[in-house]
A and B are shown apart, each in its own frame.
Chain A
Amino acid sequence: KQEVTQIPAALSVPEGENLVLNCSFTDSAIYNLQWFRQDPGKGLTSLLLIQSSQREQTSGRLNASLDKSSGRSTLYIAASQPGDSATYLCAVPSGSARQLTFGSGTQLTVLP
């Protein structure tokens, strides 16, 4: 059974810092990996989807990398802003139905 782990569970940084969020998964036979953002009391917003054949995917200040062989993905946020404060979740399709298996998330706080 696929398991997805995100460390740390919470992270607090001053505004302007570059930061890295980590995601690891146990079964490397994945189709892709998605990063989501969730604001308090809100739904999930898809940030990036990185295919298994890709090593990186970029959107604005966000860069996601994928290393299938080691079962790891990182989300790099450049020049962090208070508006980046949210919980970030990673997810991979798994199982016979390829339903998303989620990590427990990293709660990010960017201090002004």
Chain B
Amino acid sequence: NAGVTQTPKFQVLKTGQSMTLQCAQDMNHNSMYWYRQDPGMGLRLIYYSASEGTTDKGEVPNGYNVSRLNKREFSLRLESAAPSQTSVYFCASSVDTVSQAFFGQGTRLTVV
């Protein structure tokens, strides 16, 4: 009964380092999303994949790239981390873009 699984749960990066956040879902969902959550800013969409083979920018895509590896997996890459990318990152999935969304437990990222 895994649902949406994110790795890692915590990460500290130095400015300029790169890393990839992994997300996998086992619900056979078509749509997957990456959000970031910041105090006072709420949840904001970074990128999404409406279906396997497609990806699109959300509200705050700058500094990020994504890959929809297959139907199950959707990764988020920070090529050159900046302190402004310190945040909690959530992956989510849904059957389609207007169905109930299921979230992972989050990745707490600190960039120093």
Interface of A toward B, CB cutoff 8 Å: 31-32, 34, 36, 41-46, 49, 89, 91, 93, 97-100, 102-105
Contacts and interface: CB of A to CB of B under 8 A. Distances in A.
A44 B103 contact: yes
Which 10 A-B pairs give the minimum distances between C-beta atoms? A44-B103, A98-B97, A43-B103, A31-B98, A102-B43, A43-B105, A49-B100, A99-B45, A104-B42, A93-B98
Interface string B89-112: 010100001111111111000000
A46 B42 contact: no
A32 B103 CA distance: 18
B42 A103 contact: yes
B74 interface: no
A34 B43 CA distance: 14
Contact of B106 (A34, A42, A91, A102): A42
A18 B101 CA distance: 27
Contacts, number: 52
14 contacts: A34-B100, A36-B103, A43-B90, A43-B103, A44-B103, A46-B103, A49-B100, A93-B97, A97-B56, A98-B97, A99-B59, A99-B97, A100-B101, A103-B42
A99 B35 CA distance: 10
Contact of A46 (B43, B50, B102): B102
Nearest to B99: A49
Q: Is the interface of A mostly helix, strand, loop or mixed?
A: strand
Contacts of B48: 97, 99
Contacts of B97: 93, 97-99
B45 A100 contact: yes
Contacts of A103: 42
Interface string B43-75: 101001010000010110000000000000000
Contacts of B58: 97, 99
